[in-house]
Amino acid sequence: MMAERKYNYLMSMQELMEIYKYGEKVLKQKGSTIKNIDQFIVDLIKRMKTTMYGTPNAIGLAAPQIGESLMLSVIDISMGKEENEFTILLNPFIAEEEGKETDSEGCLSFPNISLDINRSTKILLKGIDINGKDYEKEYSGFMARAIQHEIDHLNGILIADRVSPLKRQLMKKEIKKLKKNGEW
Protein backbone atom coordinates (compact mmCIF):
# COMPACT_ATOMS: atom_id res chain seq x y z
CA MET A 1 0.00 0.00 0.00
CA MET A 2 2.79 2.45 0.90
CA ALA A 3 4.59 1.81 -2.40
CA GLU A 4 1.35 2.55 -4.27
CA ARG A 5 0.86 5.84 -2.38
CA LYS A 6 4.45 6.88 -3.04
CA TYR A 7 3.99 6.01 -6.73
CA ASN A 8 0.87 8.21 -6.84
CA TYR A 9 2.83 11.10 -5.30
CA LEU A 10 5.66 10.69 -7.76
CA MET A 11 3.24 10.54 -10.68
CA SER A 12 1.83 13.94 -9.64
CA MET A 13 4.96 15.79 -10.76
CA GLN A 14 2.92 18.72 -12.06
CA GLU A 15 1.91 19.35 -8.45
CA LEU A 16 5.48 19.75 -7.21
CA MET A 17 6.04 23.12 -5.64
CA GLU A 18 9.11 25.27 -6.26
CA ILE A 19 11.69 24.90 -3.50
CA TYR A 20 13.24 28.26 -2.62
CA LYS A 21 17.02 28.39 -2.41
CA TYR A 22 19.43 30.23 -0.16
CA GLY A 23 19.13 33.98 -0.67
CA GLU A 24 15.31 34.12 -0.84
CA LYS A 25 13.89 36.46 1.84
CA VAL A 26 11.12 34.08 2.92
CA LEU A 27 13.76 31.63 4.18
CA LYS A 28 14.96 34.16 6.76
CA GLN A 29 11.49 35.03 8.12
CA LYS A 30 9.95 33.46 11.19
CA GLY A 31 6.80 31.57 10.21
CA SER A 32 3.37 32.62 11.43
CA THR A 33 1.59 30.47 13.98
CA ILE A 34 -1.22 28.41 12.48
CA LYS A 35 -4.40 29.32 14.33
CA ASN A 36 -6.91 27.42 12.19
CA ILE A 37 -6.36 24.14 10.37
CA ASP A 38 -8.60 24.93 7.42
CA GLN A 39 -8.76 23.48 3.90
CA PHE A 40 -5.85 25.67 2.79
CA ILE A 41 -3.58 24.09 5.44
CA VAL A 42 -4.81 20.56 4.66
CA ASP A 43 -4.21 21.07 0.93
CA LEU A 44 -0.81 22.69 1.60
CA ILE A 45 0.25 19.65 3.66
CA LYS A 46 -0.76 17.34 0.79
CA ARG A 47 1.20 19.40 -1.75
CA MET A 48 4.22 19.59 0.56
CA LYS A 49 4.09 15.81 0.99
CA THR A 50 3.91 15.36 -2.78
CA THR A 51 6.81 17.76 -3.28
CA MET A 52 8.94 16.10 -0.60
CA TYR A 53 8.39 12.59 -1.99
CA GLY A 54 8.92 13.86 -5.53
CA THR A 55 12.28 15.48 -4.70
CA PRO A 56 15.34 13.19 -4.67
CA ASN A 57 16.88 12.58 -1.22
CA ALA A 58 14.28 14.74 0.56
CA ILE A 59 13.48 13.80 4.16
CA GLY A 60 11.76 17.03 5.17
CA LEU A 61 10.23 20.19 3.81
CA ALA A 62 9.30 23.36 5.68
CA ALA A 63 6.58 25.76 4.51
CA PRO A 64 9.07 28.67 4.12
CA GLN A 65 10.99 26.53 1.62
CA ILE A 66 7.98 26.64 -0.70
CA GLY A 67 7.28 30.34 -0.09
CA GLU A 68 4.74 30.05 2.76
CA SER A 69 5.83 31.75 5.96
CA LEU A 70 3.97 29.38 8.29
CA MET A 71 4.91 27.16 11.25
CA LEU A 72 4.43 23.97 9.22
CA SER A 73 6.79 21.24 8.14
CA VAL A 74 6.59 17.65 6.91
CA ILE A 75 9.19 14.91 7.54
CA ASP A 76 9.75 11.29 6.52
CA ILE A 77 13.28 10.13 7.25
CA SER A 78 12.49 6.80 5.53
CA MET A 79 11.74 8.74 2.29
CA GLY A 80 8.47 6.82 1.91
CA LYS A 81 9.97 3.38 2.45
CA GLU A 82 8.34 2.73 5.81
CA GLU A 83 4.67 2.93 6.71
CA ASN A 84 3.58 5.53 9.24
CA GLU A 85 6.85 7.48 9.12
CA PHE A 86 5.29 10.60 7.58
CA THR A 87 5.20 13.30 10.28
CA ILE A 88 3.47 16.68 10.20
CA LEU A 89 4.86 19.45 12.41
CA LEU A 90 2.32 22.20 13.17
CA ASN A 91 3.44 25.07 15.43
CA PRO A 92 6.29 22.90 16.73
CA PHE A 93 8.74 23.89 19.40
CA ILE A 94 11.38 22.08 21.40
CA ALA A 95 10.48 22.10 25.09
CA GLU A 96 13.54 20.17 26.27
CA GLU A 97 16.76 18.92 24.73
CA GLU A 98 19.82 16.98 25.79
CA GLY A 99 23.09 15.69 24.41
CA LYS A 100 25.08 17.15 21.53
CA GLU A 101 26.38 15.67 18.31
CA THR A 102 27.92 17.13 15.16
CA ASP A 103 27.03 15.59 11.83
CA SER A 104 26.84 16.55 8.17
CA GLU A 105 23.52 18.02 7.01
CA GLY A 106 22.20 18.82 3.59
CA CYS A 107 19.21 20.98 2.77
CA LEU A 108 16.87 21.31 -0.20
CA SER A 109 17.46 25.07 -0.09
CA PHE A 110 21.22 24.44 -0.45
CA PRO A 111 21.47 21.90 -3.31
CA ASN A 112 24.77 20.02 -3.46
CA ILE A 113 25.98 21.58 -0.19
CA SER A 114 26.44 19.87 3.17
CA LEU A 115 27.70 21.39 6.38
CA ASP A 116 28.66 19.98 9.78
CA ILE A 117 25.97 21.09 12.24
CA ASN A 118 25.85 20.59 16.01
CA ARG A 119 22.43 19.38 17.25
CA SER A 120 20.87 17.90 20.36
CA THR A 121 20.64 14.10 20.35
CA LYS A 122 17.30 13.94 22.20
CA ILE A 123 14.38 16.40 22.22
CA LEU A 124 10.91 16.80 23.67
CA LEU A 125 8.75 18.24 20.89
CA LYS A 126 5.49 20.07 21.51
CA GLY A 127 3.00 21.35 18.97
CA ILE A 128 -0.48 20.64 17.63
CA ASP A 129 -1.74 17.74 15.57
CA ILE A 130 -3.83 17.91 12.39
CA ASN A 131 -6.97 18.11 14.57
CA GLY A 132 -5.66 21.14 16.46
CA LYS A 133 -5.00 19.20 19.68
CA ASP A 134 -1.84 19.83 21.72
CA TYR A 135 0.71 17.03 21.79
CA GLU A 136 4.20 16.28 23.01
CA LYS A 137 6.56 13.50 22.02
CA GLU A 138 10.19 12.55 22.59
CA TYR A 139 12.53 11.97 19.66
CA SER A 140 16.17 10.93 19.47
CA GLY A 141 18.84 10.21 16.91
CA PHE A 142 18.38 11.13 13.26
CA MET A 143 14.68 12.02 13.66
CA ALA A 144 15.57 14.51 16.42
CA ARG A 145 18.17 16.04 14.08
CA ALA A 146 15.67 16.27 11.20
CA ILE A 147 13.06 17.92 13.44
CA GLN A 148 15.59 20.49 14.71
CA HIS A 149 16.57 21.28 11.11
CA GLU A 150 12.92 21.81 10.12
CA ILE A 151 12.15 23.92 13.20
CA ASP A 152 15.16 26.08 12.33
CA HIS A 153 13.54 26.73 8.93
CA LEU A 154 10.30 27.75 10.65
CA ASN A 155 12.24 30.25 12.74
CA GLY A 156 14.17 31.71 9.78
CA ILE A 157 17.41 29.93 10.69
CA LEU A 158 19.39 28.16 7.96
CA ILE A 159 22.27 25.70 8.13
CA ALA A 160 24.54 28.52 6.96
CA ASP A 161 23.62 30.40 10.16
CA ARG A 162 24.90 27.49 12.27
CA VAL A 163 28.50 27.52 10.99
CA SER A 164 31.44 29.86 11.53
CA PRO A 165 31.85 32.97 9.35
CA LEU A 166 34.82 31.31 7.62
CA LYS A 167 32.80 28.18 6.74
CA ARG A 168 29.93 30.41 5.57
CA GLN A 169 32.33 32.30 3.29
CA LEU A 170 33.67 29.01 1.85
CA MET A 171 30.08 27.82 1.34
CA LYS A 172 29.23 31.01 -0.59
CA LYS A 173 32.24 30.42 -2.87
CA GLU A 174 31.04 26.87 -3.47
CA ILE A 175 27.55 28.15 -4.32
CA LYS A 176 29.04 30.56 -6.90
CA LYS A 177 30.90 27.63 -8.44
CA LEU A 178 27.74 25.48 -8.48
CA LYS A 179 25.76 28.30 -10.11
CA LYS A 180 28.44 28.75 -12.75
CA ASN A 181 28.29 25.03 -13.53
CA GLY A 182 24.46 25.02 -13.62
CA GLU A 183 24.21 22.78 -10.56
CA TRP A 184 22.34 25.26 -8.33
User: Which residues are known to be catalytic?
Assistant: 150
Rounded to 10 degrees, the C-alpha dihedral 93/154/121/118 comes to -140
Report DSSP state, residue 71: S
Closest CA to 152 of 28, 20, 24, 44: 28
Structural element, H or E, at residue 122: strand 122-128
Closest CA to 160 of 145, 146, 149: 149
* Cα(18)–Cα(51) distance, integer angstroms: 8
* Cα(183)–Cα(179) distance, integer angstroms: 6
Neighbours of 121 (CB within 10 A): 16
3-state secondary structure (DSSP) of residue 68? coil
